Homo-oligomer: A and B are copies of this chain.
């Protein structure tokens, strides 16, 4: 950490400040220029609050040299993390470290027929995981809010029928009680900085699919993962799903460069959600392929057997037919990038 002092600070003050900082367990390298004095803090600065230092009357600027995350940091764990999930069919599916997973299914579980039909279709097409929402975060209190526990039961039925492990969203801590049969817990973009929830997930032993917040930086996403890891759960799958920008052609702007950026900063697997990022079904195939080309460890894609009648997000759902054809391209891309697809 680099601390730039204000102009004209007296030597005695600098000395006193140096002593104060060294008490927090770091060493100080002093560099005094003609117009500015700079302190280099050497050692573990994870516990030193950058913004706190800014409150000191001698300080002009604080610049971070090291990232504030440890457990999620590739610097301290260079090998890729691989998340293994065993489905009810006894098959082991992996995400990360050369293995890419395709997670597919409807935005929300609507009824038994719908979820089982879509589950069968996506399995047939080659998806490795079934997704489906039971608890839905909706912008309007007047929109369909998901079937809740009933939806969860239907999803688990589809799980049994197809053998596919399931991914579904958890919105609040108390829902954890009913998530026993779920294979991967999804945390939505709007809950990425729900710190109480993240802390609780650290105590849980299931893999977490953590979506990037709409206005979250790469560092903030990794700090959210760090919250969970600090509690002892390091089975985390990061998910880029579009960020909010001035552009309104797509619902959000898919930040495709987040894939290589994250993979450089962390050992955790990184997947992409082209459906929520764009909000446009016709754009899903091109963005899915772009994500694989950029090095993603998988995709989560909305598939609905009748998008026009979907109770939620139909405009971004592809049909089973389109999904099946897309899978053909994805297999080619994965192969070319040296990834095993599951």
List residues of chain A with CB under 8 Å of any chain B CB.
2, 4, 7, 27, 29, 31-36, 38, 40, 42-43, 46-47, 49, 51-57, 61, 63, 65-66, 68, 75, 137-144, 171-174, 190-191, 193-197, 199, 213-215, 217-218, 220, 223, 226-227, 230, 243-250, 253-261, 264, 277-279, 281-283, 286-287, 289-295, 307-308, 310-317, 329, 332-333, 336
Contacts and interface: CB of A to CB of B under 8 A. Distances in A.
Contacts of A281: 55
A66 B255 CA distance: 28
A194 B194 contact: yes
Contact of A65 (B36, B173, B194, B333): B36
Contacts of A248: 217, 248
Given A217-B249, A253-B243, A65 B54 contact: no
Contact of A246 (B35, B66, B193, B217): B217
A292 B213 CA distance: 27
Contacts of A197: 172
A126 to B, nearest CB: 17
Given A38-B65, A68-B139, 19 more contacts: A31-B31, A34-B43, A49-B312, A52-B314, A55-B310, A61-B65, A63-B65, A172-B173, A172-B196, A190-B194, A217-B248, A243-B245, A250-B261, A257-B283, A257-B287, A286-B295, A289-B293, A290-B291, A293-B333
Given A260-B286, A286-B259, A199 B141 contact: yes
Contact of A52 (B2, B243, B312): B312
Contacts of A173: 172, 174
A95 to B, nearest CB: 19
Contact of A191 (B29, B174, B194): B194
Stoichiometry (number of copies):
4
Contact of A257 (B4, B226, B246, B250): B250
Contact of A317 (B55, B139, B144): B55
Given A40-B38, A260-B286, A290-B290, A220 B139 contact: yes
A7 B227 CA distance: 26
A337 to B, nearest CB: 8
Contacts of A53: 315
Nearest to A59: B315
Contact of A54 (B29, B226, B260, B315): B315
A323 to B, nearest CB: 15
Contacts of A220: 139
Nearest to A231: B141
A243 to B, nearest CB: 6
Contacts of A329: 336
Contacts of A66: 35-36
A51 B313 contact: yes
A318 to B, nearest CB: 11
A139 B193 CA distance: 8
A326 B36 CA distance: 31
A254 B75 CA distance: 26
Contacts of A277: 257
Contacts of A314: 51-52, 54-55
